[in-house]
Homo-oligomer: A and B are copies of this chain.
Amino acid sequence: MNPVSNIEPTVREIFELALKLDEGKVTTYIPELAGVDPDLFALSICGTDGRTLNMGDTGHMFTMQSISKVLSYALVLEYYDDETIMERVGVEATGEDFDSIIKLDHHKRPFNPMVNAGAIAVTDMIISRFKDEALVKSLDLFASVLGKNEVSVDEAVFMSEYRTGERNRAIAHLLKNFSLLDNPVEEVLALYFKHCSVQITTSDLACLGATFSNKGCPASSVRQVLKRETLQKVLSVMLTCGMYNYAGQWVYDVGFPAKSGVSGGVLSMVPDKMGVGVFSPRVDDKGSSPRGVLVNKLLSERLNLHIFAC
């Protein structure tokens, strides 16, 4: 691939096109997210060589929300064998909304780690493995794959989610009912919401994507922060489940792994090429940013980035 500087004009054009799109609504069910400026928009791209393009409000920090599910799952893949994980959470798309409780009740196991039920089960495994160190270990991993020294939690968002998260609490107790949680529900939810409340910028997301593109090494580094097997599994699940019940359309239209969050962030990555981070607080009814979707779709089309492009 061309170094990112070569694609700058194309990316700039895409950024301007996406800027005109104002579909979607700011998430309000988490009270602390409701106050954000809906017009914020940022796009960052980071090549495997570490060179980065930044456009728009790339200095704005937002919380990872469901994008953190990718990293929780990666952490569990690093420390548990496949068989043990598969007993707790599958890898199939649900065909339902991200916070569905129905499939869980029918199948007695979360469908995949990208929906709330699966991520809560995964969070429980992190606590079982690291006990009191669970939060520290999580934040360490988050920081290292983001290529940073440390990350911090937005405590106001955390409290807001923790206090109002009754649907997630219901899901957690149902997991408990199926013997899929070993730790106390409130402890698991606390860590789950801390993960959701980790603060990032689009530049961080682009670096995270570049780590994935670069065989598990943060861009321009050779330090392997994720095992290659972990990476292959995480990217597989991002591809088939990362965009929830829009995942199939995403593969059809865009064709590389991605994960969105209700705060408006979208993480994506093109194998061997680059990581992409977008932020725009307005999200659609599937919980993804329309601008984020459009940016990725246009990048795929104009730069021929689809995994099955030929």
Contact = CB atoms under 8 A, between A and B. Distances in A.
A248 to B, nearest CB: 4
A94 interface: yes
Contacts of A248: 90-93, 111-112, 236-237, 240-241
A28 interface: no
A235 interface: yes
B177 A173 contact: no
Contacts of A233: 252
Contact of A232 (B93, B237, B246, B310): B310
Interface stretch (A13-21, A54-62, A95-103, A145-153): A95-103
Contact of A308 (B95, B172, B246, B271): B271
Interface in A34-80: none
Contacts of A96: 95
Contact of A95 (B111, B167, B172, B177): B111
A112 B95 CA distance: 11
B95 A105 contact: no
Contacts of A240: 93, 239-240, 247-248, 251-252
A91 to B, nearest CB: 4
B236 A252 contact: yes
A95 B237 CA distance: 14
A176 interface: yes
A232 B111 contact: no
A191 interface: no
Interface of A: 90-96, 101-103, 105-106, 111-112, 166-167, 169-174, 176-177, 185, 215-216, 228, 231-233, 235-237, 239-241, 245-249, 251-252, 255, 257, 271, 306-310
13 contacts: A90-B248, A92-B246, A93-B95, A93-B240, A111-B248, A170-B172, A170-B173, A216-B310, A233-B252, A236-B255, A236-B306, A239-B239, A239-B251
